Amino acid sequence: MGVFLKLFICMYLFGVICSEEQVPWLACTFIDERVFLNNEGQRETELHPRDALLQFGPAGGPPVNPHTITFLITASRVDLRSYIVGGSPEHLECEIRRYSMRGIQGLWPSKGAMPYDLWFTCTVKHPEDSFTFTGYLRHTPSQPPSSMDDFDSFPPIGDRELITASASMVLHTRSVVLKVALRSQQKLQCRFSVDHKGPKFKVGWRAQIKGDWVELYSHDSHSGVTRGSGVNQKGLLSTGDATLSIPFVKISSEGKYVCSVSVGQLDASLDLALHVYEPPSVSLNVGPELALQAGAEQKVVCEAEGYYPLDVEMEWYQEPPGEPKDYRAGAPLPTKLNNVLLSSHRHNREGTYALSAFFYYRAALLDTGRRFTCRVMHRSLRTPVRIGFTLLVHEPTSWSFYLAVVSTLVIFLIIFRMLHYLYTARQESRKSKPY
């Protein structure tokens, strides 16, 4: 019954069949602005956040909430709903802003466009960075304004106003934040779509690596000039796929990437972040069991090698001798060693790091069977790496002990030889004489 009710509401309010993937509306914040001259004659901008609704449906459809600003998005070749993938609509971040043509007069090459159209941007973000997109909304007023729309003369919008618009362009990605491993192949997704065929556009990629901006790629469809590489030209021209490929991730690949697209007077850009995460390789300088004589001293080293970024946590723990413990049953928890020393971070050639955590141990008989564990935690790991060994301590041996054993054996040998000699002599004396 709930499914049929939903279909009825969608058909009645929006004139479309709402699928599970397409939401009928989104709660948004409209960031209104007012530009004015301050006392010093300089321009300032005041921002006023206002509640608004982004609603999808046919022109003339009733607003879901008549008590708030409603941007009614009618059908076009750019369907913003198709880019909303995953996540509850109520948790998405939606922001609408005015967009100024900066006084440039030009007719958008789409059916029904007018030179005095009003423009808005709508940016929707997933809270966990699964996707983000920016759509450009075109609204045609019922009457031409008295002056050309610009950022310092935006017409006012009432608290309950219904603004009917269509999406003319969208720029989107599902690669908002990438956490990748060294030496991997990656793609930074960036795609755009417009509401008319054969648009003239400019596409660019640049990256901020360690504070410096680097131009990676650019293409101008009007002149046909391409600079740089990394974008599939065929996909760009046919479907607006400006995805950037990184064939071999290095530490120097980490940074902020910007994909920019210009179509006519519309300039759009997306910020993407690429972070390199390489887990450490953990090892010990001893085996699973360490055998020592009582009183002997041993340096035990835990080595974390080849990790990135820098921050890593290394700790040593010990457990008392005995059978494996069930800590849920109240057995004593492992205790942290306080005499652990850390080496300085070593910087490897490829940009990764290494660190050692070590301690000195003097063996005691009562410690035999004790378990020592090195625990390593790094942001590239979901759970800490644990590696350890069991201690086996035995009593010391000395030369006096060996001398006593040898002396005892010699005495037993001498006694045995004497007894054998006496026995032989007695047997000889018992033999009968020939005379």
Torsion angle of C-alpha atoms 147, 149, 154, 159, degrees rounded to 10: 100
Does the domain at residues 281-394 carry the CATH identifier 3.40.30.10? no
Pair of tokens at residue 222 = 């009007």
User: Span 2-276: which CATH code?
Assistant: 2.60.40.10
On whether the CB atoms of residues 359 and 301 are closer than 8 A, the answer is no
In angstroms, rounded to a whole number, what is the distance separating the alpha carbons of residues 283 and 281?
7
Average pLDDT for runs of 10 along the chain of length 435: 39 40 88 84 87 95 94 96 84 94 77 89 94 96 69 81 96 96 96 94 95 95 96 96 97 96 95 96 97 95 97 95 60 87 94 97 93 97 96 77 65 76 68 52
Whole-Å CA distances, 65 to 15, 49, 163: 17, 18, 13
Helices and strands (DSSP H and E) totals, the chain: 3, 26
Centre a 10 Å sphere on the Cβ of residue 403 and count the other Cβ atoms it contains.
Answer: 10
On whether the CB atoms of residues 136 and 99 are closer than 8 A, the answer is yes
Fold match, 2-276 / 281-394: yes
Tell how far CA 85 is from the center of its chain. 18
Q: What's the one-letter identity of residue 145?
A: P
| Element of type H or E holding 12 | helix 2-14
**pLDDT, position 411:** 79
On whether the CB atoms of residues 87 and 127 are closer than 8 A, the answer is yes
On whether the CB atoms of residues 18 and 81 are closer than 8 A, the answer is no
In angstroms, rounded to a whole number, what is the distance separating the alpha carbons of residues 183 and 351?
12
Domain segments of the chain: what residues?
2-276, 281-394
Rounded to two decimals, what is the model's pTM? 0.79
On whether the CB atoms of residues 31 and 48 are closer than 8 A, the answer is yes
In angstroms, rounded to a whole number, what is the distance separating the alpha carbons of residues 84 and 89?
8
Pair of tokens at residue 336 = 């942290």
On whether the CB atoms of residues 14 and 61 are closer than 8 A, the answer is yes
- Residue that the structure tokens 């971070």 belong to: 345
